[in-house]
């Protein structure tokens, strides 16, 4: 039987002994100075290779923000595919696409992201309902992280809409998500910038459901809070994403070393939680 995503994550966490997920989120015009004069796609390739090399031993997973590659056009998507291959099988590699569509279209997203591009997991926006998530779930160990509470200020507009039955919208999503998570292939995304939500989600989903937490570092979330509130059972069932603090650790000639040093620092800060 194929290993479920949750079990695979636990194994990876045990191997790497860190929750650190490096967000490979480049942006046009945002490459380090020594790469800025190269042809755009060459600069982008060198940058991503350098970041992966420098962070490989300090992280358990990579998360690629889809928009970051689309912003480089068709060649950006080619590079997205190459980077996923170059990372290899020792790390989990996730595509952050926040996909949402009718069921027949979700199947096409799955084909593209998993079969064609070879990702291990992707993010999903639940706005179109549970059938759109159910259609993604197969027994092949691919993982789907459902947005519960995002890290931005505007998350409050819809996600915190006050429902008639006394809870807010995102809270009402916890029971159906817990049911889907019995497959072992469903997790949740909760922003580090909403610490109370972290506690509530971990309590509501139970200790084994994977949580993907963005928003530490430049967005203002606290790593300490995330570890205290979101860590689950086994090796923690937790992935903590850092993007800009690593990718933009330096824009100068030491960009690669600085990225590696920041990833190492974050991982050291997490390792107490493994004892």
Q: Under the rule (CB under 8 A), what is the footprint of a copy of itself? A: 25, 27-28, 65, 67-74, 76-78, 81, 98-103, 105-106, 108-109, 111-113, 116-117, 125-132, 147, 150-159, 161-165, 169, 172-173, 176
Nearest distance, CB of residue 263 and a copy of itself, angstroms: 21
> Residue 1 or 74: which CB sits closer to a copy of itself?
74
Give whichever of 22 and 270 is closer to a copy of itself, judged by the CB atom: 22
Give least dist CB 250 to a copy of itself, A.
Answer: 20
Closest CA to 125 of 104, 109, 148: 148
Nearer to a copy of itself, 10 or 96 (CB): 96
Set 63, 98, 142, 231: catalytic member:
98
CB 255 within 8 A of CB 228: no
Per-residue tokens: 158? 């819809």
Taking the C-alpha atoms of residue 169 and residue 187, their distance in angstroms, rounded to an integer, is 18
Tell which residue, 105, 112, 116, 24, has the closest CA to residue 72: 24
Give the C-alpha distances (Å, rounded to integers) separating 144 from 5, 30, 33, 118, 184. Answer: 9, 29, 36, 14, 10
The strand pair at 61-65 and 92-99 is best described as parallel
Nearer to a copy of itself, 4 or 159 (CB): 159
Cα separation, 131 vs 72, in Å, equals 33
Cα(39)–Cα(44) distance, rounded to whole angstroms? 9
Smallest separation (angstroms) from a copy of itself to the CB of 272? 29
Is position 98 annotated as part of the catalytic site? yes
Least distance to a copy of itself, CB of residue 12, Å? 25
Indicate the burial class of 35 (C-beta count within 10 angstroms; 0-12, 13-18, 19 or more): middle
Active site residues: 98
């Amino acid at each position: 039987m194929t290993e479920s995503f949750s079990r695979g994550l636990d194994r990876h966490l045990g191997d790497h002994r860190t929750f650190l997920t490096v967000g490979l989120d480049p942006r046009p015009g945002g490459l380090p100075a020594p790469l800025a004069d190269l042809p755009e796609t060459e600069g982008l390739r060198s940058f991503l290779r350098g970041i992966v090399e420098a962070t490989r031993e300090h992280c358990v997973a990579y998360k690629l923000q889809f928009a970051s590659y689309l912003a480089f056009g068709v060649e950006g998507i080619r590079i997205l595919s190459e980077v996923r291959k170059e990372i290899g099988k020792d790390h989990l590699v996730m595509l952050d696409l926040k996909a949402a569509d009718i069921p027949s279209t979700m199947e096409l997203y799955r084909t593209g992201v998993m079969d064609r591009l070879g990702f291990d997991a992707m993010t999903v926006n639940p706005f179109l309902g549970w059938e759109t998530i159910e259609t993604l779930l197969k027994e092949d160990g691919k993982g789907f992280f459902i947005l519960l509470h995002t890290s931005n200020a505007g998350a409050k507009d819809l996600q915190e809409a006050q429902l008639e039955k006394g809870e807010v919208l995102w809270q009402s999503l916890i029971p159906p998500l817990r049911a889907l998570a019995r497959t072992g292939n469903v997790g949740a995304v909760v922003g580090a910038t909403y610490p109370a939500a972290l506690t509530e989600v971990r309590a509501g989903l139970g200790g084994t459901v994977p949580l993907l937490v963005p928003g530490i570092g430049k967005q203002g979330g606290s790593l300490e809070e995330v570890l205290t509130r979101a860590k689950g059972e086994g090796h923690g069932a937790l992935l903590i994403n850092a993007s800009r603090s690593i990718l933009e650790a330096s824009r100068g000639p030491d960009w690669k070393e600085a990225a590696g040093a920041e990833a190492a620092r974050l991982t050291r800060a997490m390792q107490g939680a493994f004892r």
